Amino acid sequence: MISRQRQLSLCVRHLLYGGAALLLCAPMAMRADAATQPAPDQKNAKPSPAKAKVLGDVTVTAQNRTQQMEQVPMALQIVTAQQIDTLAATDLSKMSIFVPGLFVDGEHPTQPHYSLRGLTANDFGVGTDSPVAVFVDGVYAARTGGALLAFNDINRIEVLKGPQGTLFGRNAAGGAISIVTNEPTDKFEGKAVVRFGNEGSRYENALVNIPLNKDMALRISVLDNQSDGWITNQTNGQHYGKTDDWGSRIVYRWNITPDTRVLLSWDHERLNQPPAVGMGLIALSNDTNQRPPFPANPATFINPFTAPLYNDAAYGAESRRFNASTLTIDHSFAWGGFTSITAWRGFDFCNNLFNKRYVEVINNDSTTVFGTPFATVTPPRTWGVELRTKF
């Protein structure tokens, strides 16, 4: 008679044998671990900084005080200077696609539109402001012309998503964008960047940091952004889609005492280029009474990249001359700190959209009018003082 063991009894027997084997091997493993454990002196010794892997700290001022990024309880994204150089971004409109939820329409540099998490305002005028506030070194950048300037010696950009009215005021219902520039340092530094591209694109910037003595330093930076445009007016040979932007920045730092620091900066920018081109898709004749066919036939649409441009309008231009000065005084106390920011902003800009309203891809005579021209010239001058105390 042959007895057949059940499957369950076999599994229990294998488990018992395996457990007994582990118990027998445990003392040998413990002796091996004891042999490899470091001595008491080595155990208490600090790890070598050269062998330690340290992640870079990200310091921000999103709450008007210096903090580590992980200490800020809000939706925050940082764009570093290295990322800006990698993207070859020249202003906020060139890098907004890399910030989730942010869109900056820079078709007209003097009339930009900002959108953050879907909150935006398309109106432009004296009585309207974008729900996305833009700050440069803690100073509010007015929407009329001064909110979209060329990047010049940028340290980082902080994008704060969601309402920020407590710290940044009523114009930050959708969020705030804080642009922080570099300050003078105690080390001599020089840098130059040159880039070339198609359509005659050329970009240059240079900076120099000069320590004057142990308490004073000066930092100077300049930039020049040019392009020849991507389309030519067959009527007069003028190029459209051009870029013509030049700027400079000077920052002076003086450490009056170990606890008191003074920063004085001057910014200048000059923009002078044709307005944006509005291309038509349906060819029109010289008959002013003709209306475009309805419904439109996509098969007859004109390709704006290959069709010639004929434009008989004149006086179209987009220009800006921007100047700004900021005086920042910081003083540290045993109980906290005090900051004073005094700023002046002045700029003249002209956004004459004759060409945008009149541009078509076919020729028309001087009596043909397609739309109403829009032009604005304003010389805003603003100044302000902000006092901050932190504990």
Question: Would you state the structure tokens that stand for residue 80, as one six-digit string?
Answer: 């570093």
User: Does the pLDDT of residue 144 top 70, yes or no?
Assistant: no
Q: What would the pLDDT profile of 128-138 be if each residue is shown by its tens digit?
A: 677 888 889 98
Distance CA 266, CA 252 (A): 9
Q: Tell me the mean pLDDT in the region 114-126.
A: 76
Where does the pLDDT of residue 360 fall: very low under 50, low under 70, confident under 90, or very high at 90 and above? Answer: very low
Residue 153: its pLDDT value, please?
Answer: 92
Residue 3: its pLDDT value, please?
Answer: 45
- Final residue of a domain: which of 181, 200, 223? 181
Residues 209 and 160 in one domain: no
Residues 314 and 174 in one domain: no
Residues 94 and 122 in one domain: yes
Q: What would the pLDDT profile of 297-339 be if each residue is shown by its tens digit?
A: 888 888 877 777 776 556 677 888 899 999 999 999 988 889 9
Where does the pLDDT of residue 270 fall: very low under 50, low under 70, confident under 90, or very high at 90 and above? Answer: very high
Residues 194 and 272 in one domain: yes
Q: Which domain holds residue 137?
A: 59-181
Q: Residue 110: give its domain's CATH number.
A: 2.170.130.10
Domain for residue 99, yes or no? yes
Domain count, the chain: 2
Residues 211 and 333 in one domain: yes
- Final residue of a domain: which of 151, 181, 211? 181
Residue 49: its pLDDT value, please?
Answer: 46
CB burial string 106-129: b at 16+ within 10 A, e below: bebbbbbbbbbbebebeebeeeeb
Length of the chain: 391
Residues 264 and 291 in one domain: yes
In order of 98, 103, 113, 159, 182, the CA distances from 117 in angstroms are 14, 9, 13, 11, 28
Residues 347 and 217 in one domain: yes
Domain for residue 240, yes or no? yes
Residues 288 and 378 in one domain: yes
Q: What would the pLDDT profile of 38-93 be if each residue is shown by its tens digit?
A: 554 444 555 454 443 444 556 666 566 666 666 676 778 889 999 999 999 999 98
Q: Tell me the mean pLDDT in the region 168-172.
A: 77
Residues 290 and 325 in one domain: yes
Residues 198 and 176 in one domain: no
Residues 177 and 195 in one domain: no
Domain for residue 51, yes or no? no
Average pLDDT, the chain: 76
Q: Residue 305: give its domain's CATH number.
A: 2.40.170.20
Residue 367: its pLDDT value, please?
Answer: 36
Q: Strand, coil or helix: what is 354?
A: helix
Domain for residue 54, yes or no? no
Residues 288 and 362 in one domain: yes
Distance CA 391, CA 380 (A): 36
Domain for residue 230, yes or no? yes
Cα Rg of the chain, angstroms: 32
Domain for residue 217, yes or no? yes
